[in-house]
Amino acid sequence: MLWNTLLLALREIKRNVMRSFLTVLGIVIGVASVITMVTLGNGATQQVTTQIASLGSNLLMVTPGRRMGPGSAGSSPSFKVEDGEAIAREITSAALVVPVASRSTSAIFGNQNWSTTVTGTTNAFLELRSMSLHSGRSFSDSEARAGAAVCVIGQTVREKLFGSQDPIGSRIRLGALSFQVIGLLEAKGQSTMGQDQDDTVLLPLRTFQRRISGNQDVGMIQVSIREGQPTEKAQRDIRLLMRERRRLAVSEEDNFNVMDTKEITRMLTGTTQVLTGLLGAVAAVSLLVGGIGIMNIMLVSVTERTREIGTRLAIGALEREVLMQFLVEAVVLSSSGGLFGILLGLGASFGLKNLLQVPFVFNPGIAIIAFLFSAAVGVLFGYFPALKAARLDPIEALRHE
């Protein structure tokens, strides 16, 4: 019985290949966009998670501002080098304390020009980020102290400015000033939020403050906690120390943040998840529109096939058999559209993975949900037209022109 109904429905779909295709196009696009959004979203989330996890669970980031995020830092005073020194001195569980200040600047060598991120920091930055030197050396103590015009460059900067030449010893210009390249970093690849970690120029912090930013500010202090020491305690201690140094009254809120990697992960993945959810919802609306499209075509199809329905009824088709035929037809249409959409969506995510630099993470759960949902759309929007067909009076239907 069910097999026969399926056969009749498939025959009907085959009879109208073009129309069937157009009918399900809405579902195909809807499902494909849901799958693409969610797959890319999951990929982005996973990327953020793994990259932050690769920083190590013992990392704390101290940033000015009430909440970490763009634009909020300006409202509260920045950190100074002394704040980092205080942390290194007071917090016994701190292994490395690295002040970091960054700015986007163009780097020039000869007639080559490349816009990159210049970071003022200390040698400990390399250790903290597990970066190593490919050639040359890092800053000497005297260079760091004196704020000498020296820099260490990443592989991307080398490639853009020097091509295959050896950069060590050459001088590049950052902003208005000239700096000697003393070291070249090993390639590190993509980092958190998809930025190229090799696209960087490192300067001694003092050099950065004097020659690039022109102030004594430190954008962020990164602290790594010794193995086996509780990060929660260190976090609390740093917070109290900073409150004290910033002379915050008991009633005042923190105007800085001490975050561990778990919190950073939560914050960043939270953003991508909200975004994924929103895009998914938009895509789900298009699925609904696709469903209405199916209902529309099924209704047209019932009208168009009135005589055929009359013939079937005369031949001895039961009301429920006609109902089932149209319902199965709608479900076969919508679920095959769903299947096609899933494949299209996965294909699109796979194709976009390089363009958007987001890993491809196949989520079978969402594929199954999308498929079931598209089938449900078929049942929901196919039922009314099917009922209309089944309830036709055979005599009227046979007379229909």
**Residues in touch with other proteins (CB under 8 A):** 1, 4, 7-8, 11, 15-16, 307-308, 310-321, 394-395, 398
Nearer of residues 263 and 321 to other proteins, judged by Cβ: 321
Question: Helix, strand, or coil here: 146?
Answer: helix
Nearer of residues 314 and 356 to other proteins, judged by Cβ: 314
Residue 180 has φ and ψ, to the nearest 5°, of -90, 130
Residue 384 has φ and ψ, to the nearest 5°, of -65, -50
Least separation in angstroms between residue 326's CB and other proteins is: 14
Q: How far apart are CA 328 and CA 138, in angstroms?
A: 71
State the residue for tokens 């609306």. 285
Nearer of residues 17 and 249 to other proteins, judged by Cβ: 17
Cβ partners under 8 Å of residue 156, min gap 6: 116, 196, 198, 199, 200
Nearer of residues 11 and 262 to other proteins, judged by Cβ: 11
Least separation in angstroms between residue 400's CB and other proteins is: 10
**How many other CB atoms are found less than 10 A from the CB of residue 268?**
20
Least separation in angstroms between residue 394's CB and other proteins is: 5
Nearer of residues 236 and 320 to other proteins, judged by Cβ: 320
Whether 54 contacts 266, CB under 8 Å = no
Least separation in angstroms between residue 6's CB and other proteins is: 11
Cβ partners under 8 Å of residue 208, min gap 6: 101, 103, 118, 119, 120, 121
H helix or E strand, kind and range, residue 94: strand 94-109
**Alpha-helical segments (H) within 95-214:** 124-128, 141-146, 155-162, 205-207
Nearer of residues 126 and 302 to other proteins, judged by Cβ: 302
Nearer of residues 37 and 323 to other proteins, judged by Cβ: 323
Residue 199 has φ and ψ, to the nearest 5°, of -90, 70
Least separation in angstroms between residue 274's CB and other proteins is: 49
Least separation in angstroms between residue 331's CB and other proteins is: 19
Least separation in angstroms between residue 8's CB and other proteins is: 7
In eight-state DSSP terms, residue 74 is G
Question: Which residues are registered as beta bridge partners of 223?
Answer: 60, 97
Q: Give me the DSSP letters along 359-400.
A: -----HHHHHHHHHHHHHHHHHHHHHHHHHHHT--HHHHHH-
Nearer of residues 211 and 312 to other proteins, judged by Cβ: 312
Least separation in angstroms between residue 4's CB and other proteins is: 5
